[in-house]
Structures are given as structure tokens and as C-alpha cells.
Structure 1
């Protein structure tokens, strides 16, 4: 047993995760009634969600209290990249929907009882209210906008603290990070449970109904991952972007696909940034920020689903309206985390551009929930992996401008 454990621990984490993924898929087909295995996935995601708010709060405070002056420039670039790629995601979705128009069978779609926001102003109001939410309440409810805002305030206030206080903050940050690494080492078993639950409960039937819609959504997201994002990275770094993109997909996107939560994937992204040799002062802020405003996948979902509704209703969409839709989807997607139900409940907001009634729009939301197992998984994979990709791009761009020789993937 000891030798077996040593061999297991000698494997890289990603290999162990792949082993867990394969075993989970096999058991999902062979023993679909062994529902106790799904508990492994629930425990893993629960642990990540529990530790992520504390990790973000402590890391941001410690990083800002001990930060150097060059962090602000990096953050400006990161935010610009986040907003640019989200808008480009919406444009890709518009182009895809024009090339491959989809109509829906709304009569058979389940409706949702959740209430969507009534306009962009409500989305922005929710976002602003989350910023000023009680810090303790934000930690309890995993409100990352509020956590980030208060951590920035406390971190800046502690810049004038004594060296002893700063060292204590650094030690607390290191302790939380170590605890997170322990949880991440359990990822193979968590992924096993998550894959088992997905395969045993859904099978392959999810791909037959609404297959064309799923193909369009996934196609737009893959186009963003492998075409538009690489163009942006190459234009800034003048290096082949694909090794970095594949690294982000393998070590961030894979877990995000099965956890279906950008927030739960924050610890995985932090660990990957550390592997890439990035500055902790930068990624400790940009990664949690990305989990709330870097929403390429959400913008694609909102755009594709609303245009599918328009095509179903026989509404002609012109180019100016499509551009407005792209902007609306990008802005709305940034506030998706502040609305219960995420990106799907922002579909009625986009549908209102075309004069589509709320009753019809909520049926489209129902379709979204039906295909949500696949759609949300791919969406989260894109969103979370691009958080690391764009954070790395911004920092490496600054290094390149400073005349340093940049390395996309350090030999570690």
C-alpha cells in the first residue's frame, strides 16, 4: 500500500485528474446506481467553494499591503483585456448565429420560475450593491465583488502597517495557500465523483435534443479559445500563444469544466499562476476579478440564445442591432455573477431588444436550463481558463515592454 501511494503521488496532478476522469466515466456507465460516488464530487466542490472566499480575501490584503508600485499598470491592461475579449465573444456569437441560424421548439421547453432582471440598470445596480455589501456577509455568501472591494480597501490601509504586521499577513496568506494546495491534491477523487454524477444522470441524451443549439454554442466558445484569444495574445507577446493556451486549458479549464463554477476554480487558477512564475501581487487581484467580470462564455450564451429566439419568432436582425446586442451582452455578462441564475437569466434582457415578450424569453431560458449541463460546463471552462491566460498575457506584455526576455511556460 505504501509503494502504491508513493507511485500515485509521483504522478503529476493533471495525470491523476485524468485517471479520475476516466474511472468516473467508466463507473458512470457501468454502475449508474452507485450514487454514493457522486458525494466525492460534492465534497470537493464544497471544499473549494468554502476556502476560495477566504483565500481571495487574505491574499489580496497581504499582496496589497506588501505590494510594489507597478501593479496598477498591470491591472489596467488586465481589465482592458477582460472587457475586450468579452465583447469579442459576443461578436463571435453574432457572426455564428448569422451563419448558422437556429430555431427552437419552445412549446416543449421547461420554463423557469426565477425572475430575470428588468434592464441593464438593474444589473449594474446589483453589481454596485454587491461592492458595498457587508464584508462578513460577503465572505459568508461568497460575494466575490464585495470580497475583492473590501480586501482592496483593507490592503491599501495596511500599506502603512509595521513590518511585523505585514509579515504576519504574509504568514497567514502562506498558511491559507498551503491549505488550498491540500484540497487541490484531492482533485482526482473530486473529478471522479463529478464525472460519475454527470455521466450516470444525463447519459448521452443531452446531445440529441437541441443538438444544433449546443453545437453552435460550443463552436463559438471553441472559436474564441483557439482563434480570437490566440490572436490577442500573439499581438501582445509576439510568441506562439498555443503552448500557454493549452497549459491553461489543461490545468484550469479541465477542472472548471466539471466544477462548473469560476469561483470554485479560483484556487486552481492561483496555483497555475504560481507555476507560471507570475507576480502574486498581480494575480491575487486579477484572478478573483476575472471570475466576476471576464465572461466571454456568458456573453456568447446570452447572444446565441437571444438571436435563436429572434429567429424562432421570425424577427429580422440588422447589423446595427447586432452591434448593440454585442455591447449589451458584454455589459450584462460582467454582471452575471450578481444575478441569481447567472448568464441564462440575462437572456430576457437581450430578447427585449427585439421586442420579444417575457413569456417567450423565459421559455428560451428554460431551454438553457435543459442544455445547461453541457453549456455551463464549456462556458465555465472558457471563462476560468482565460482568467489565467489574460493575467499572464498582461504581465508578460509588461516584461516585454521593459526589454526582458519572456518565457511563456517556465521549466518547472
Structure 2
């Protein structure tokens, strides 16, 4: 047993996750009533959800409290890349519609009991109210916009406190990160449970009934990850971006795919940034920030499903309108974590641009929940891996400019 445990611990996390996926698939098909296996997945997700908001708070607050005047960071470039990347992903999703137009079979909504925002104004109102949420309540309810806002406030306020107090905050950040690393090391068992639960409850047919929609969603996200993002990286760095892109996808995207939480994937991204030799003053802020506002995958989801609804209802769409849709989707996606239901419940906001009623839009949301098994995983993988990619690109482009000058 000791030999097995030693070999298991020495095996890379990605290989262990792959083993968990295969076992979950086999058990789900052969013993679908073995519900205790599904409990592993629920416990894993519950642990991640419990600790992730606290992690974001202590990491951002600690990073800002340790920052000293005169330290150079690339935060403005990183934020610019986040915004450009999210908008570009939204625009690509619209263009894909002209190549692979989708239609949906709309029926009774499976999400009719959910309430969606009625417009962009309501999204902004929700975001503003989330920002001033009670900090304890924000952490307990996983309101990441509020968590991030209060972390910035506390971090700035603690710049002038004693070094002993700063060291205490840094210790809290390190301890919380270690707890998350422990949970992520249990990912193979949690993922075994998640895969088992998905297969036992829905069967393989959940992936085939909406195969074309899943293919377009996943294909668009792959295109953004493997073509659009590398192009942005090349423009900034003026060198082959693929070694960096592929490493981010391998070491960040794979774990994010299974954890389905950008916030929970923060320790993985921080370790990857450290391994890449990036400036800690930059990535200690940009990675938690990216988990909240860098939402290329969410923008893709919003636009693909919205355009599918438009096609179903035979609504003509000219390019200026499609461009406006991309702007709305990008802005809405940045606030996805502040709206109950994430990116899917922002679809009615985009649908409202075309006069689609909320009832019909919520049917589209229902379809989104059905394909969410794959959609949410791919969306998170794209979002989280891009956090590291753009942080690295911003710094490497700064290095290039220094060499040129």
C-alpha cells in the first residue's frame, strides 16, 4: 500500500485526473446506482466552493498590502489584454454563426424557475450593488465582484500598517493557498465522482442529443484558445507564442476543465506564473482579477446560444448589430460571476437586443443547462488558462520593449 501511495503521489496530476475520468465513466456505465461514488464529486466541488472566495480575498489583499511605491507592474497591459481578449472571443462567436448557423428546438424551459436580468442596465445595477455587499456576506455567498472590491480596499488600507501585520496577512494567504492545493490534489477522486454522476444521471445520450451545438461551442473555444489568443500574444511579443499557449492549456486549462472554477484554479495559475519566472507583484493581483473579469469563454457561450435563438426565430442580423452584440456580450461576461447562474443567465440580456421575449430566452437558457456538462468545463478551461497567458504576454512584451530600447 505504501508503495502504491508513493507511486500515486509521484504521478503527475494530469495523469491522475485522466485515471479518475476513465474510472468514473466505467463505474457510471456499469453501476449507475452506486450513488456513494457521486458523493465524492459533491464533496470535492463543495470544498472548492467553500474556500475559493476566501482565497481570492486574502491573495488580492496581501498582494496590494505588500506593494511599495516605485515597483513596476504590467497591470494596465494585463487588464487591456483581458478586455481585448474577451471582446475578440465574443466577435469570433458571432462570425462562427455565419459559417455554422445553428437552430434550436425550443420547448418548455428547464430553467423557468430562474430569474434573468432584463437588460444591460440591470446587469450594471446588480454589479454595483454586489461591489458594496457586506464583505463577510460576499465571501459566504461567493460574490466574487464584492470579494474583489473589498480585497482591494483592505489591501490598500493595509499598506501603511506594521510589517508584523503584513506578515500575518501573508501567512494567511499562504495557508489558504496550501488548503486549496490539498483539495486540488484530491481532484482525481472528486472528478471520478463528477463523471460518474453525469453519466449515471444523463447517460451518454446527453452528449449526442445536442452534439452539433456542443461541437460549435467547443470548436469556437478551441479556435479562440489556439488561434485568436496566440495571434494576440504574437502581436505583443513578436515571437512564436505556441510554447507558452500550450503550456498554459496543459498546466492550467486541464485542471480548470475538471474543477469548473477559475477561482479554485488560482493556486495552479500562481504556481505556473512562478515557474514561468513572472513578476510576483503583477501576477499576485492579475490572476485573482482575471478569475473575475477575464471571461472569453463566457462571451462565446452567450453569443453562440443567442445567435442560435436568432436563427431559430428567422430574425435577420446585419454586421453592425452583430458587432453591438459582441460589445454587450463582452461587458456582460465580465460580470458573469456577479449574476446568479453565471454566463447562461446573461443570454436573455443579449437576446433582448433582437426583441426576443424573456420566456423564449429562458428556453435557450434551459438548453444551455443541458449542454452545460461540457460547455461549462471548456468555458472555465479557456478563461483560466488565458489568465496566465495574458499575464505572461504582458510581461514578456515589456521585456521585449526594454531590449529594443
Whether the TM-score (by the shorter chain) exceeds 0.5 is yes
Q: Deviations over 1:237-283 (max 9, x none)?
A: 23322222222222222222223222332333233333333333322
Q: Deviations over 1:58-106 (max 9, x none)?
A: 2222221212446674111111111111111111111110111111111
In 2, the alpha carbon distance for the partners of 1:196 and 1:286 equals 35
Q: Which moved more, 1:367-376 or 1:199-208?
A: 199-208
Deviations 1:33-58 (A, max 9, x none): 22211222222222222222222222
Instruction: Name the counterpart of 1:279.
Output: 279
The question of whether the paired residues in 2 share the 8 Å contact of 1:191 and 1:255 is answered with no
Alignment partner of 1:402: what SS? helix
Answer whether contact 2:73 2:281 (CA < 8 A) is retained.
Answer: no
In structure 1, distance between residues paired with 2:89 and 2:284: 25
In the alignment, is the contact (CA less than 8 A) between 2:144 and 2:338 conserved in 1?
no
Change in CA separation of 1:78 and 1:70 when aligned onto 2, cut-off 3 Å: farther
Q: 1:389 to 1:237 in 2, by over 3 A?
A: same
Q: Please state whether the residue corresponding to 2:25 is helix, strand or coil.
A: helix
The alignment partner of 1:264 has SS state of coil
**Contact 2:187 2:259 survives alignment (8 Å):** no
2:155 is matched with 155
Residue 261 of structure 1 corresponds to 261
Report what 2:219 is aligned to: 219
Structure 2 length normalisation: TM-score?
A: 0.93
Quickly say closer, same or farther: Cα 1:267–1:47, change in 2 above 3 A: farther
Q: Helix, strand or coil: the match of 2:118? A: coil
| 8 A contact 1:145–1:289 mirrored in 2 | no
**Separation in structure 1 between the aligned mates of residue 126 and residue 215 of structure 2, nearest angstrom:** 32
Checking the alignment, whether the CA contact within 8 Å between 1:71 and 1:282 is kept in structure 2 is: no
Question: Is residue 112 of structure 2 the alignment partner of residue 112 of structure 1?
Answer: yes
Please give the residue correspondences for 1:120-159 in structure 2 after superposition, counting only pairs within 5 Å: 120-159=120-159
Distance of 1:204 and 1:391 partners within structure 2:
38
Q: Pairwise mapping of residues 5-154 of structure 1 onto structure 2 (< 5 A)? A: 5-69=5-69, 73-107=73-107, 110-154=110-154
Distance 1:368 1:181, change over 3 A: closer
Distance of 1:374 and 1:217 partners within structure 2: 9
Name the residue aligned to 2:335. 335
| Partner SS state of residue 106, structure 1 | coil
* Corresponding residue for residue 237 of structure 1: 237
* 2:399 alignment counterpart: 399
What's the offset of the Cα at 1:111? 4.8
TM-score using structure 1 length:
0.92
Assess, with a 3 A threshold, how the Cα gap between structure 1 residues 8 and 145 changes in structure 2: closer, same or farther. same
Structure 1 residues 206-236: Cα deviation after superposition (integer angstroms, max 9, x where no partner): 2322322222111111110110001111221
SS at match of 1:403: helix
Q: Does the Cα contact within 8 Å between 2:38 and 2:193 map onto a contact in 1? A: yes
CA distance in 2, matches of 1:145, 1:24: 34
2:318 counterpart residue number:
318
Aligned length: 404
Partner of 2:206: 206
User: 2 CA distance for matches of 1:63 and 1:271?
Assistant: 15
